[in-house]
Structure 1
Amino acid sequence: MDAVLRASETLKNFRESRLSALRSPTEFFDHHRISRPADLNQATSRISYNTRYFSGNYGLIVAVLFVYALLTNPLLLISLGFLIGGFTLINRFAPEPMQVGDHVVTQKSLYIGLFVIGLPLLWWSSPLGTFFWLVGASGFIIMFHAALMEPGIESEYAEAGTTV
């Protein structure tokens, strides 16, 4: 019961902190505010403002790209499932040594077997390539959107509040 209470509290905190930062799709995809920045300084200031203003939307983009990367790399999904499932099953069902025939199987030997199978499988599934693809794709999309999107009127009020 305590775990359910903690999970619901964590979900509530996540919803209050992250989902409140989401901007509406009409504001995020407002084609009237798209323009080419005049110079590098303007692009830098747009990126600085828009990454803070649209942080929830950009986080959602990274999450969607992460799910896409996992779904398009089934071997990575299988190897992560194998390792996480193996850890969970070993911790839940084999906390104490057990006798199998003439051999005593300990939790340590089960972990060694999990690593002997799981780590080469994970290495073969190319997690670093997927990670760097995720960083590159999300970075490109976020920087492209942030540089092209003109800050709204509210940015003028935010700047005026800091200079007073």
Structure 2
Amino acid sequence: MDVVTRIPELAKQFRETRLSALRPVNEFFDHQRLSRPADMNEATSRLSYNTRYFSGNYGIVIALLAVYALLTNLALLIALIFLIGGFAAINRFAPEPMQVGDHVITQKSLYTGLFVIGIPLLWIAAPLSTLFWLVGSSSILIMGHASLMEPGLESEYGNVETV
């Protein structure tokens, strides 16, 4: 099955699985439920519960931080656009060898040229530092929120069986 024909199906599946886990904004930012945990055991139990309960919201936080990181690191954004766009252009417009004057240009030579230019651009853009910033900032935000947010009443009744 072609990817283009599967897009509506993939969007529906994404909506059912990931977006169903989103909690309302007023619940995610409920300042009345914020409190300092009494000890490390309470902080750990809050982390465990809240990371599962707010998993969809935390995914959005990570996505927003990733977009922010790309927009503030324009060199990385340009390098990624160059590499991804070049790869797509070569696949679309040059699937077979072309004759230019006395030279035959193949897909392999185009990929080589793309990577000879694109990999140094990517190296200069420092993607690892951006990745480490993203991991660090998202983990600090998520762990801070999850440990400070008191679990709701539904967490107390999560283990109760209905008859």
The normalised TM-score by structure 2 is 0.96
Counterpart Cα distance in 2 of 1:102 and 1:122: 33
Residue in 1 that maps onto 2:109: 109
Structure 2 portions without partners, runs of 5+: none
Give matches, 1:1-164, under 5 Å: 3-161=3-161
The structural deviation recorded for 1:4 is 3.8
Counterpart Cα distance in 2 of 1:160 and 1:16: 26
Counterpart Cα distance in 2 of 1:159 and 1:40: 22
Counterpart Cα distance in 2 of 1:13 and 1:116: 38
The structural deviation recorded for 1:2 is 5.1
Q: Secondary structure at the match of 2:159?
A: helix
Counterpart Cα distance in 2 of 1:147 and 1:43: 5
The structural deviation recorded for 1:160 is 3.1
The structural deviation recorded for 1:5 is 3.0
Q: Secondary structure at the match of 1:99?
A: strand
- Which digits, 9 at most, give the CA deviation of each residue in 1:95-135, with x for residues without a partner? 11111111110110000000000000001001000000000
Tell me the percent identity: 71
Counterpart Cα distance in 2 of 1:102 and 1:13: 51
Larger proportion of helix: 1
Counterpart Cα distance in 1 of 2:123 and 2:11: 33
Amino acid at match of 2:142: I
Amino acid at match of 2:148: L
The normalised TM-score by structure 1 is 0.95
Amino acid at match of 2:101: G
Counterpart Cα distance in 2 of 1:111 and 1:54: 42
The structural deviation recorded for 1:3 is 4.0
Amino acid at match of 1:23: R
Number of aligned residue pairs: 162
Counterpart Cα distance in 1 of 2:4 and 2:12: 12
Q: Secondary structure at the match of 2:158?
A: helix
Q: Which runs of 4+ in 1 moved over 2 A?
A: 1-5
Amino acid at match of 2:134: L
Counterpart Cα distance in 2 of 1:145 and 1:40: 15
The structural deviation recorded for 1:159 is 3.0
